[in-house]
Structure 1
Amino acid sequence: MLRSPWLPHALPGHTEPSLHPQQLSLLLLVLPLLLPPGPLPVPGMEDPDFPHPGESSQPPPWACPWRCSCPQADVVDCAGLDLHVFPDNITREARYLSLQNNRLRELPYNELSRLSGLRTLNLHNNLISSEGLPDEAFESLGQLQHLYVAHNQLSAAPQFLPRSLRVADLAANQVTEIFPLTFGEKPALRSVYLHNNQLGNAGLPPDAFRGSEAIATLSLSSNRFRYLPPSLPTSLERLHLQNNLISKVPRGALSRQTHLRELYLQHNQLTDSGLDATTFSKLRSLEYLDLSHNQLATVPTGLPKALSILHLGRNRIRQVEAARLRGARGLRYLLLQHNELGATGLPAKALRPLRALHTLHLYGNRLERVPPGLPRSLGALLMPHNHVAALGARDLASVPGLAELNLAYNRLTSARLHHRAFHRLRTLRCLDLAGNQLTRVPAGLPGSLRALRLQRNQLRALEPESLAGLGQLQELSLAHNQLRIGDIGPGTWHELQALQMLDLGHNELSFVPPDLPEALEELHLQGNRIGHVGPEAFLSTPHLRAVILRANRLHMTSIAAEAFLGLPHLRVVDTADNPEQVLVRLPPTTPRRPRAGGS
């Protein structure tokens, strides 16, 4: 029957009542009087009772598919609507069409061919197969620049894509084959994303990128390549090949990629025999090279001069030779964590060619001492989880500009830590000595320190002299030691005027230490033997924001009612895991009421 678009639609599950012929004639006579002046609404325009998502209830003056959003005449947004079929009534004026996050299985050629002016087509996260994406679907899209078909079910790439394409994203499909004109002969193409597919070397033809001399980004990670593909675009600036099965880079495979700035080859099966002296030597623009998580036994040769970051972590490297680093004089970050570097793994002068080196990462090796002859430029030395047992007076003399030193979880003892070991480090800001065997705070700590970490040692005493001169210290961790109240000498905290965080958790303290620094904002006392908190416990720390008292020996009435009243900034008091539920009274300026169990 004929129905006015301005009359209510039938409710779901109900049939519309049929009209008698006389009633129909009457309706046709009065219909012009019921409709507003102007043209009839375009067929397919959404019902006014179903406004656009995020838009006003008034429909736009141009056609828009039902339930979709069309904020502009050339924008059609049908994302996230659980659509199973391609929407009809998409205007021919559309330049941007989003159909992502739906349940589409195919694109009808007749509908897509109408949209010859499309610039962007987003089909991300649907159920589209290669059979549902016919090659002829793109024949009429001569102006398409951005195509997003990631997270679908494509088994092969489209054989033909428009010459106008700039960005193509086919990631996270099941693609096993690329064709010569999928990405070839695309002079404007800049970015191609094919990661998380099932591509092998046989599925990528030698001429896959012929005629596409502007490609800057190519992502082939998480596929099944066994060797680096030949005939890659010479214009490449970023190449992602991580998470493949690559054991070899064929000779000359990277000889023409002189614009390449970033190369990702981590999580492969590369060995020394899979590389040669020319593998990287022609990459004169290369700044970032990631070879971590492979099977290399030595540092590769022929590293380019422009290289700034070299990631060699998680390999099998036993020794670093100076000759292999000589070409990479501009290197700033060298990462060698989790290798097999032993006592002679970093001999003197091995790193001397690296005059610009800022960060040396040696986590998880078997080094027995700080490497000699470190570059003077070094700003961060990270050596946790090694076998360093001693630190001499001159071991760090060559790096006076060091700002961060991490020797956590080594074998350092107080007896073998020279009292002038840190004497020359006048710009040191962070010192991490956690997890060693120190029985006292090291002497001669530089006054520039902002963070000092000494947790998980065997400290039994704190004296004012050991912390003297640390007026800029903001963070001090002394957790998991053997400190008692009687072991903390009077005036120990006196010079720590900038200290904001103090961790004394998991020691043997029986009450809150007195005369804590005035600037303190965060105090950790968990896991001690504290059984009472008196009314004057926090008088010296008016800026406290958090006090952690969990897992002590507190009972219901252990904390004095006035203990926290002078702390207007206090927001957290943690008293969980004590023998009894503890009543905490927060300052009256705090809107929360006193309650049991903490705040």
Structure 2
Amino acid sequence: MSELKNSPWITCFLRPQELLLLLMLRWAIAYMEDPAFPHLGDSSQPLPRACPWRCSCPRDDTVDCAGLGLSVFPDNITKAARHLSLQNNQLQELPYNELSRLSGLRTLDLHSNLISSEGLPDEAFESLTQLEHFYVAHNKLSVAPQFLPPSLRVADLAANEVVEIFPLTFGEKPELRSVYLHDNRLNNTGLPPNTFLGSEAITTLSLSSNQLSYLPPSLPSSLERLHLQNNLISKVPRGALSLQTRLRELYLQHNQLTDSGLDATTFSKLSSLEYLDLSHNQLTTVPEGLPENLTILHLGRNCIRQVEAVRLHRARGLRYLLLQHNELGTSALPAGTLRPLRALHTLHLYGNRLERVPPALPRHLKALVMPHNRVAVLGERDLVSARALAELNLAYNRLASERVHPGAFRRLRALRSLDLAGNQLSRLPEGLPPSLRSLKLQRNQLRALEPELLAGLKKLRELSLAHNRLRVGDIEPGTWHELQALQVLDLSHNELSFVPPDLPEALEELHLQANRISHVGPEAFLSTPHLRALFLRANRLHMTSIAAEAFLGLVHLRVVDTAENPEQVLVQLPPKNKGALSPKG
């Protein structure tokens, strides 16, 4: 071969066609003798790895064919694949011979395809002895695969049309940790008692949004999170939760549970339970036997008329008690009912029929949320036991100024947010604590602002006075003097005829929409150099109503909303206000 390559004289006796062949042969010989040529016997120079057309193979063991609109299972998948992604395609079936050939698969992702139970051969899984993660959510399965390998750790069959589970679908899986079956059509018949037999490592089980009528028996004792919301459950059979001592989260909201569907032992053995959601059911009382480690109890949207202290006695560690939208009336929370809950942080009583603040509130309570009740009186000592309150929401009740005691808020030295919107107050409350950051008084009947009632609120950042009956003459001089930290002031939907003078210097956002303002003078915003947003929509402004000098010095101003006035108002902002919107609308 080397002689042929190095014999220049031989070319003299060849015809043109023979000469061309000779030159090609010489080139091939030179290429093969090149040290860089990858010889088949040279393991240091591997052949290029095959990857299915249009798919990507970022690693030797990974094949990614997601989101390609595939309707046929891709060929040429390497047998070395450990992770195969086929989600978001149009696959209707998986060929047995192709799938069973990939015996080393650990992850098979078929999420969001069109695969039916007939298109998912059970025999194929017999070869997938190393499969750990199986995702087939958002397909068209009517029954679960009859056999899944014992190596499985995560199985996601959510959002299909599954009506039946078989014993070896999830049974005899010692490594199985998470099972997702939500958004299917399972009833109790399709979920046999031995569904999870031999799978005692499952920590997360989601059966929400199915058609279960009672809590399934024989659930794994290893469970930590159990989702059963959005079913038809009316009963928890006695002992159904007696072995789940590791359970930390139990979701039973949006079912048909009644008092008779629970008993004193239903939750009593759940010694690790921290979160229990029983909202949107038909309970008329707090369940018995609540575990002592319970942290969050959600009972909203039931028919509870009274809370008995004995029902809360064991749950001393409770931090969040949610009782909104029930039928709690005058005597629903007698004195002492909440006293055992020494760690209670938040009490939600939104949308009930309460006429007074519950007596003897826990001393460490941080948030009391009870808008949309019938509270008409706030006495001097109604809140005295809850001196740690940081948030108090009494919006949309029936409070009138003459029935709010001057000392009602005085002892709340940690209060940061006070919401009294939607009441019948004609003047600001007295004794507001200096710790306040947010004060909401919109939709009342305020006719005057007195500086004495706002004195000391040096930390107040947000003040809402919208939808009242305020006029500029009703705002006494010095009203804003001590509000040194105020950044947001809402005076919209009042009866103001011009911009109130001497507004707080720190103000950044000023709402004056829907008033009677017809003129904005050059001195209107001299006291508010940090103003960023100004809302003058729906007033009585005309084309020349705003003085050209009004915005001089407002270098931070970015939004001026003057829409919905009698005439289009053009606002000339200073040159430094690049990117400002003027007018808006």
Matched, 1:232 2:219: yes
* Residue in 1 that maps onto 2:261: 274
Matched, 1:550 2:530: no
Residue 30 of structure 1: how far off its partner (Å): 6.5
Matched, 1:571 2:538: no
Query: After the TM superposition, which residues 138-177 of structure 1 pair with which residues of structure 2 at under 5 Å, given as runs?
Result: 138-177=125-164
Q: Is the 8 A contact 2:387 2:414 kept in 1?
A: yes
Give the distance between the partners of 1:559 and 1:594, measured in 2 at CA.
16
Which has the larger displacement, 104-113 or 264-273? 104-113
The structure-2 alpha-carbon separation of the partners of 1:33 and 1:503, relative to structure 1 and needing over 3 Å to count, comes to farther
Matched, 1:502 2:489: yes
Query: After the TM superposition, which residues 256-295 of structure 1 pair with which residues of structure 2 at under 5 Å, given as runs?
Result: 256-295=243-282
Give the distance between the partners of 1:30 and 1:535, measured in 2 at CA.
91
* Residue in 2 that maps onto 1:598: 584
Query: After the TM superposition, which residues 78-477 of structure 1 pair with which residues of structure 2 at under 5 Å, given as runs?
Result: 78-477=65-464
TM-score by length of 2: 0.92
**Equivalent in 63, 74, 81 of residue 61 of structure 2:** 74
The structure-2 alpha-carbon separation of the partners of 1:129 and 1:592, relative to structure 1 and needing over 3 Å to count, comes to same
* 1:438 counterpart letter in structure 2: L
Residue 532 of structure 1: how far off its partner (Å): 1.0
Residue 33 of structure 1: how far off its partner (Å): 6.7
Residue 590 of structure 1: how far off its partner (Å): 2.1
Residue 233 of structure 1: how far off its partner (Å): 0.3
The structure-2 alpha-carbon separation of the partners of 1:32 and 1:402, relative to structure 1 and needing over 3 Å to count, comes to farther
Q: Is the 8 A contact 1:586 1:592 kept in 2?
A: no
Residue 587 of structure 1: how far off its partner (Å): 2.1
Q: Is the 8 A contact 2:555 2:576 kept in 1?
A: yes
The structure-2 alpha-carbon separation of the partners of 1:250 and 1:34, relative to structure 1 and needing over 3 Å to count, comes to farther
Q: Is the 8 A contact 2:142 2:162 kept in 1?
A: yes
Q: Is the 8 A contact 2:259 2:285 kept in 1?
A: yes
SS state of the match for residue 353, structure 1? coil
Give the distance between the partners of 1:594 and 1:300, measured in 2 at CA.
56
The structure-2 alpha-carbon separation of the partners of 1:406 and 1:31, relative to structure 1 and needing over 3 Å to count, comes to farther
Give the distance between the partners of 1:274 and 1:310, measured in 2 at CA.
18
Provide Cα deviations, 1:415-464, integer angstroms capped at 9, x if missing partner. Answer: 00000000110000000000000000001000000000000000000011
Residue 355 of structure 1: how far off its partner (Å): 1.1
Provide Cα deviations, 1:342-386, integer angstroms capped at 9, x if missing partner. Answer: 111111111111111110000000000000011111110001000
Give the distance between the partners of 1:68 and 1:572, measured in 2 at CA.
49
Overall identity of the aligned pairs, in %: 80
Give the distance between the partners of 2:123 and 2:573, measured in 1 at CA.
72
The structure-2 alpha-carbon separation of the partners of 1:199 and 1:282, relative to structure 1 and needing over 3 Å to count, comes to same
* Residue in 2 that maps onto 1:12: none
Residue 40 of structure 1: how far off its partner (Å): 11
Give the distance between the partners of 1:588 and 1:256, measured in 2 at CA.
72
Which has the larger displacement, 75-84 or 407-416? 75-84
SS state of the match for residue 119, structure 2? coil
SS state of the match for residue 311, structure 2? helix
* 1:269 counterpart letter in structure 2: Q
Residue 73 of structure 1: how far off its partner (Å): 1.4
SS state of the match for residue 295, structure 1? coil
The structure-2 alpha-carbon separation of the partners of 1:577 and 1:308, relative to structure 1 and needing over 3 Å to count, comes to same
Q: Is the 8 A contact 2:557 2:580 kept in 1?
A: no
Residue 75 of structure 1: how far off its partner (Å): 1.3
TM-score by length of 1: 0.90
SS state of the match for residue 181, structure 1? helix
* 1:112 counterpart letter in structure 2: L
Give the distance between the partners of 2:24 and 2:90, measured in 1 at CA.
43
Give the distance between the partners of 1:472 and 1:393, measured in 2 at CA.
24
* Residue in 1 that maps onto 2:575: 588
Residue 222 of structure 1: how far off its partner (Å): 0.2
- Structure 1 stretches of at least 4 aligned residues deviating more than 6 Å after TM superposition: 29-37
Residue 31 of structure 1: how far off its partner (Å): 11
The structure-2 alpha-carbon separation of the partners of 1:593 and 1:273, relative to structure 1 and needing over 3 Å to count, comes to closer
Give the distance between the partners of 1:349 and 1:592, measured in 2 at CA.
58
Give the distance between the partners of 1:31 and 1:261, measured in 2 at CA.
76
Residue 593 of structure 1: how far off its partner (Å): 7.7
* Residue in 2 that maps onto 1:490: 477
Q: Is the 8 A contact 2:318 2:341 kept in 1?
A: yes
SS state of the match for residue 452, structure 1? strand
Q: Is the 8 A contact 1:586 1:594 kept in 2?
A: no
Residue 557 of structure 1: how far off its partner (Å): 1.4
Residue 263 of structure 1: how far off its partner (Å): 0.2
Q: Is the 8 A contact 2:558 2:579 kept in 1?
A: no
The structure-2 alpha-carbon separation of the partners of 1:395 and 1:63, relative to structure 1 and needing over 3 Å to count, comes to same
Give the distance between the partners of 2:94 and 2:120, measured in 1 at CA.
6
Rg larger in structure: 2
Give the distance between the partners of 2:425 and 2:25, measured in 1 at CA.
94
Provide Cα deviations, 1:311-340, integer angstroms capped at 9, x if missing partner. Answer: 000000000000011011110000000000
Residue 152 of structure 1: how far off its partner (Å): 0.1
Provide Cα deviations, 1:215-250, integer angstroms capped at 9, x if missing partner. Answer: 000000000000000000000000000000000000
Residue 413 of structure 1: how far off its partner (Å): 0.1
The structure-2 alpha-carbon separation of the partners of 1:158 and 1:320, relative to structure 1 and needing over 3 Å to count, comes to same
* 1:385 counterpart letter in structure 2: H
* Residue in 2 that maps onto 1:54: none
Give the distance between the partners of 2:509 and 2:422, measured in 1 at CA.
22
Residue 473 of structure 1: how far off its partner (Å): 0.3
Give the distance between the partners of 2:480 and 2:187, measured in 1 at CA.
64
* Residue in 2 that maps onto 1:9: none
SS state of the match for residue 131, structure 1? helix
SS state of the match for residue 124, structure 2? helix
Give the distance between the partners of 1:130 and 1:462, measured in 2 at CA.
71
Aligned residues: 556
Aligned residues: CA RMSD: 2.0
Give the distance between the partners of 1:284 and 1:537, measured in 2 at CA.
64
* 1:381 counterpart letter in structure 2: L
Give the distance between the partners of 2:349 and 2:429, measured in 1 at CA.
23
* Residue in 2 that maps onto 1:49: none
Give the distance between the partners of 1:169 and 1:337, measured in 2 at CA.
34
Give the distance between the partners of 1:598 and 1:253, measured in 2 at CA.
61
SS state of the match for residue 59, structure 2? coil
Give the distance between the partners of 1:170 and 1:131, measured in 2 at CA.
15
Q: Is the 8 A contact 1:582 1:598 kept in 2?
A: no
Give the distance between the partners of 1:255 and 1:503, measured in 2 at CA.
55
Provide Cα deviations, 1:458-507, integer angstroms capped at 9, x if missing partner. Answer: 00000110100000000000000000000001010000000010000000
Matched, 1:560 2:547: yes
Structure 2: 5+ residue stretches without partners = 1-16, 41-46
The structure-2 alpha-carbon separation of the partners of 1:372 and 1:566, relative to structure 1 and needing over 3 Å to count, comes to same
